[in-house]
Amino acid sequence: MEVILIQDVDNLGAAHEKVSVKNGYARNYLIPRKLAIEANPSNLKQLDERIKQLKKKEAKMMAEVNKVIEVLKASPLKIGAKTGTSGKIFGSVTSVQLARAIRDQKGYEIDRRRIHILDEVKELGTYKAKVDFGNSNEAEVEFEVAAE
């Protein structure tokens, strides 16, 4: 029996995928648990339309991500830190501070867990961090640590 998966099913397939399974498995497990629907012509048309909409939505989201990446790469962020007499900062710069700087200076809210600082930031200077937007989209952001 041909079915269209509504959700991801382990060892079977991903959502919006057409798969062939045994009749009993489809009727007794997949369809009653709303994991799949029967692959009739009407449902196949709906699947095609849903895939088109998902592709449009994904393309729109990718355009927005690319716009954010361009804004982040345009100029380095400036982060203030308290320093001692030797130029070393008290503590270190964290992804939380970097996320706050992006929000304040660039106007974009980025989750701190998506920001990975490449080097340990213990002194004043210029450093780099990676921002992961998902779907293998990453941006390298430059930030400058200056004395407050």
SS3 94: coil
* pLDDT value, residue 57: 93
Q: How many CB atoms lie within 10 A of CB 123?
A: 14
Give the Cα separation of 6 and 30 in Å (integer): 9
The answer to whether residues 139 and 75 belong to one domain is yes
Buried b (16+ CB within 10 A) or exposed e, 83-114: beeeeebeeebebebbbebbeebbeeebeeee
The answer to whether residues 53 and 7 belong to one domain is yes
* pLDDT value, residue 82: 87
Residue where a domain stops, chosen among 44, 61, 78: 61
The answer to whether residues 24 and 91 belong to one domain is no
The answer to whether residues 124 and 103 belong to one domain is yes
Domain that holds residue 139: 65-147
CATH number for the domain spanning 52: value is 3.40.5.10
* pLDDT value, residue 38: 94
Q: Is the overall model pTM greater than 0.85, yes or no?
A: no
* pLDDT value, residue 90: 86
pLDDT in tens, 124-133: 889 999 998 8
pLDDT range class, residue 137, cuts 50, 70, 90: confident
Interacting residues of 103 by C-beta distance below 8 A, sequence separation 6+: 109, 110
The answer to whether residues 88 and 108 belong to one domain is yes
CATH number for the domain spanning 79: value is 3.10.430.100
* pLDDT value, residue 1: 92
| Domain count across the chain | 2
The answer to whether residues 38 and 89 belong to one domain is no
Q: What is the mean pLDDT of residues 42-57?
A: 93
